[in-house]
Amino acid sequence: MKLHRLAACLAMLICQACSWYAAQETIPIDPHSYSQPNKALASHLAWKGQVDFTLKRITARASWVIETEKDADTIVFDTYGLVITEVLLDNEQPTAWKLDRADAILGSALRIALKKGTQTVHIQYHTSSNAKGLQWLETDQTSNQQHPFLFSQGQAILTRSWLPCQDSPALRFSFDAELKVPPGLMAVMSAPNSAHKSLSGTYHFSNPKPIPAYLFSLAVGDFEYKAFDDRSGIFAEKSMLESAWQEFANLPPMIKAAERLFGDMPWSRFDVLVLPPSFPFGGMENPMIMFAAPTLIAGDRSLTNLVAHELAHAWSDQLLKHASWEDFWLNEFFTSYIERRIIEEMEGPSYAEMMHSLSNLELARNLAHSKMQKQALILVPDLEGKDPDLVLGALSYQKVTAMMMQLENSLGKKSIDQWIKKRLESRPARVYNTSSFVETYQKELFASSPLDVTTLNTWLYAPALPNNYVPRISARFANVEAVAGLWLQGEEITYLPTGAWSVYEWMYFLRVINQGQLPEARLAALDETLQFSSSGNAELQAVWFQLILQHNYLGALPAVEAYVAKTGRRKLLLVVYTALWNNLLCRDKAMLWFDKYQMRYHPVARNSIQQVLHP
Ligand code: BES
Ligand code: ZN
């Protein structure tokens, strides 16, 4: 693999010398894509797809408009498990093509012979049952229980399992699509979507602004739309539509807050689609239609920061393109900053500061753990030969948040805001890998207050934090610590001043009281008063279950089972299954419940949990 990369680098250097290349942007090598964009690049897609719920199959024709180097004789696409039935050029001319032998992680390269001057490549194909980027849900896995549901999840390299594409985060394409679904069902894609179901079951989409393959997405099911205003609203199954609409009602002012900070929203719309429980993430930033887990409907708007995060991607994704999944941190680095700035505007700085403090606390807890987790602290991992999905974990987010905070402390928010805004106004996103980013941004952004090389290298490449990083603790947490101290001395929680606490204060409280051996009766009393086991906030529940499993309060095990039965979000399932596994009395339960519920989980969640249960 390494040799292959070296050869590709050399080829690129030679290519740079030729005139065609001089006008183009240099696209660095991505170890997770077979495509050779410096020779032939797919820049626009016209896609016609048909969804068959009986066969659990998408049959489609992908017509790619391509841009090629003068003498390019081949274009290469990524595929995973696709059955290719025909490949034609331009006006339906046949051509030679070949699917390479499949790699377990990357799939197969599809190599298509080009003629002189070829402008379009048409690929007729259908998906197979191992399409990792699609989840087909039976009617009983939906909330209305009457129709099946289908959704895609492209990040990191899963889109190739339902679209032959150049599947690298560095490459973007515009698209038009026609999608046929069973009449009566709604269909949406990462494009402006219709508010109404099509009677015939045929939908049309058009997104003229280029997006990377991992954000090309669709969902089909029996869901409806309720608008907030003329550019935002909620798609959800009927039973959840109203509660979701209430929960996310501050979306329009949130968009306005982000626009005040960073200029016009790069997308013409921003809707939220609430998915069935198996959706493996809290949120996914699919353009113009964020995909959201149903657990975000906490009942008290306490998880809307996830909406702020996916909304932040609308701006951060236009700042730069990460060259490969090894540079994934770059994408979340600016997103986490923009998210926090939005939260500050919406909820005030002290609220945002609590979120940041909690992230720091989790980071410190993780740092105190095993060797394997420390490796996950390397922000720029070597992913060659590895599945990128298994390394894009919670730790990278916590470290990125800490790094951004150090930068913010030295530069000040004002100058970072101005820099982001200016950059968005002045140029389209370019491709950066970590080293080209560091080079450019040391000059531009960090110029007035550069991070010294040791600090920067520790942030990026070491499984540790720099010595000069001083985590800030939220001022609101001082009160929590005082209350926790009193509770630990035996006071009852009802008599302590916790009245106006937010969910973050409670999460911090649960972390602080996690010391010594807490008697079962005290934890039971806490649960009785505050109902943590049945909280509407799934993140708080996860922190609670970690605590009680560590302290053997096993009376709440039925609530833990109910949680792993209804949750699909990987991050939360992982912490709860890990806590079960770490308690020797509960290990058999972890195995039993995983066996029982794993078919409800999305494959990406299932794979990750499997690593915990069979280390
Ligand atoms: N794009 C990510 C989700 C993702 C990460 C998908 C890695 C596949 C691999 C999304 O923007 C995200 O970060 N979601 C977070 C929420 C956020 C508040 C940190 C999530 O779902 O937990
Ligand atoms: Zn994100």
What is the pLDDT at residue 374? 79
Tokens of 246: 């209430």
CB atoms closer than 10 angstroms to residue 563: 22
CB atoms closer than 10 angstroms to residue 297: 21
Using the predicted structure, report yes or no on whether residue 298 has a pLDDT greater than 50. yes
Residue 500 has what DSSP assignment? T
Residue 168 has what DSSP assignment? -
**Nearest partner of 408 among 467, 363, 472, 460, judged by Cα:** 472
Q: 222-265 pLDDT, tens per residue?
A: 999 999 999 999 999 999 999 999 999 999 999 999 999 999 99
Q: Which domains does the chain have, with CATH numbers?
A: 31-132+147-207 (2.60.40.1730), 222-316 (3.30.2010.30), 319-461 (1.10.390.10), 514-613 (1.25.40.320)
Q: Is residue 284 lining ligand 1, measured as CB closer than 6 Å?
A: yes
Ligand 1 atom closest to the CA of 308, numbered from 1: 18
Q: Is residue 356 lining ligand 1, measured as CB closer than 6 Å?
A: no
Q: Which band of pLDDT confidence, cut at 50, 70 and 90, is reported for residue 523?
A: very high
* 52, 62 Cβ separation under 8 angstroms: no
Sign of torsion over alpha carbons 331, 332, 336, 337:
negative
Q: Which band of pLDDT confidence, cut at 50, 70 and 90, is reported for residue 555?
A: very high
Write the CB contacts of 272 (distance below 8 Å, at least 6 apart in sequence): 232, 233, 234, 235, 244, 248, 251, 289, 290, 292, 307
Pairing of strands 202-212, 172-180: antiparallel
Q: Is residue 353 lining ligand 1, measured as CB closer than 6 Å?
A: no
Phi first, then psi: what are they for 203, rounded to 5°? -125, 150
Amino acid letter for position 112: I
Tokens of 335: 């997103």
Q: Which protein residue has the closest C-alpha to ligand 1 atom 18?
A: 306
Instruction: For 307-330, give the DSSP string.
Output: HHHHHHHHHHHHHEEESSGGGHHH
Q: 414-468 pLDDT, tens per residue?
A: 999 999 999 999 989 999 999 999 998 888 887 776 678 899 999 999 999 999 9
Q: Which protein residue has the closest C-alpha to ligand 1 atom 14?
A: 283
What is the pLDDT at residue 99? 98
**Nearest partner of 37 among 45, 48, 46, 25, judged by Cα:** 25
Using the predicted structure, report yes or no on whether residue 94 has a pLDDT greater than 60. yes
Amino acid letter for position 220: V
Mean pLDDT to the nearest integer, 336-340: 97
Per DSSP, helices labelled H in 320-393 are 328-347, 349-367, 371-375
Q: 101-148 pLDDT, tens per residue?
A: 999 999 999 999 999 999 999 999 999 999 999 999 999 999 889 999
What is the pLDDT at residue 380? 95
Angle (CA) 85 36 45, round 5°: 50
Q: Which protein residue has the closest C-alpha to ligand 1 atom 7?
A: 392
Q: Is 192 helix (H, G, I), strand (E, B) or coil?
A: coil
What is the pLDDT at residue 24? 60
Q: Is residue 201 lining ligand 1, measured as CB closer than 6 Å?
A: no
Least distant ligand from the CA of 306: 1
- 475 CA distance to ligand 1 centroid (A)? 28
What is the pLDDT at residue 443? 84
Q: Is residue 511 lining ligand 1, measured as CB closer than 6 Å?
A: no
| C-alpha distances in Å from residue 106, one per residue of 169, 208, 245, 557 | 14, 28, 39, 40
- 540 CA distance to ligand 1 centroid (A)? 18
Ligand 1 atom closest to the CA of 281, numbered from 1: 21
Q: Is residue 538 lining ligand 1, measured as CB closer than 6 Å?
A: no
Q: Is residue 281 lining ligand 1, measured as CB closer than 6 Å?
A: yes
Q: Which band of pLDDT confidence, cut at 50, 70 and 90, is reported for residue 529?
A: very high
Pocket test for ligand 1, best of 281, 331, 336 (most atoms within 8 A of CB): 281
Q: Which band of pLDDT confidence, cut at 50, 70 and 90, is reported for residue 610?
A: very high
* 83, 128 Cβ separation under 8 angstroms: yes
Longest dimension (CA), the chain: 82
Residue 154 to residue 241: CA distance in whole angstroms: 25
> For residues 252-281, b (16+ Cβ closer than 10 Å) or e, as one string?
bebbebbeebbeebbbebbbbbbbbbbbbb
End-to-end CA distance of the chain: 27
Using the predicted structure, report yes or no on whether residue 13 has a pLDDT greater than 70. no
* 246, 264 Cβ separation under 8 angstroms: no
**Nearest partner of 575 among 322, 448, 320, 395, judged by Cα:** 395
Least distant ligand from the CA of 332: 2
Q: Is residue 535 lining ligand 1, measured as CB closer than 6 Å?
A: no
Q: What is the pTM of this model?
A: 0.95
Q: Is residue 340 lining ligand 1, measured as CB closer than 6 Å?
A: no
Residue 157 to residue 159: CA distance in whole angstroms: 6
Amino acid letter for position 185: L
Phi first, then psi: what are they for 304, rounded to 5°? -70, -10
- 488 CA distance to ligand 1 centroid (A)? 35
- 51 CA distance to ligand 2 centroid (A)? 29
In the sheet that holds 271-274, the strands lie side by side as 223-229, 232-237, 271-274, 289-292, 283-284
Q: Which protein residue has the closest C-alpha to ligand 1 atom 22?
A: 282
Pocket test for ligand 1, best of 32, 270, 284, 569 (most atoms within 8 A of CB): 284
Ligand 1 atom closest to the CA of 155, numbered from 1: 8
Per DSSP, helices labelled H in 412-537 are 413-426, 434-444, 453-461, 476-488, 503-512, 520-530
Least distant ligand from the CA of 159: 1
